[in-house]
Amino acid sequence: MADMISMAIMLHVGSILLILLLLLLLVWHFSKEMEFKPFSIKYEQLSLYYRATLGALFFTGLVVMAVAKFDVLWTVYIMVLVVLHMIATTVKENIAYKLTHVKDALSQETFKAYAKKKYTIDIILIVVLSAVTYAVSL
């Protein structure tokens, strides 16, 4: 049982590290000056990996919860809220991307600023939540 829990936590922490890496890459990509067409090809690729990892983060969290027989700390409820927030803002961001006109520089810049803010907030939430989780479990 202890082995199963530590394995599930390892996968959970692995998805946290992977999503942090992808978020840093996304923020870096949004900071680059480039044409919208090559920008969007790379952006679509990175955001696809980000969404898949978000799913993995949720799934591994559920596995940890299940192997711990749902006997978990209050911090886990915050984790679920944070992930739901990340999913909701990803859907909103995707709608904003779809509405961005390929030839309209102003709407492209507005979208870039909006998405960069979303991903930066995600990074802050993950770092703060992880710090709180480790501080509480000390």
Contact residues toward ligand HEM (CB under 6 A) are 9, 12-13, 16, 57-58, 61-62, 64-65, 68, 72-73, 76, 79-80, 82-83, 126, 129-130, 133, 137
Token digits of residue 21: 């890496």
Residue closer to ligand HEM, measured from CB, 32 or 85: 85
- Picking from 54, 32, 52, the residue whose alpha carbon sits closest to that of residue 42 is 32
Residue 5's nearest CA partner among 67, 58, 61 is 67
Which residue number, 7 or 41, has a Cβ lying nearer to ligand HEM?
7
Burial string for 110-138 (b: 16+ CB within 10 Å, else e) reads ebbebbbebbeebeebbeebbeeeeeeee
Tell me the closest approach of the beta carbon of residue 55 to ligand HEM, in angstroms: 10
Q: Shortest approach of ligand HEM to residue 25 CB, angstroms? A: 17
* Residue 62 C-beta: closest distance to ligand HEM, Å: 4
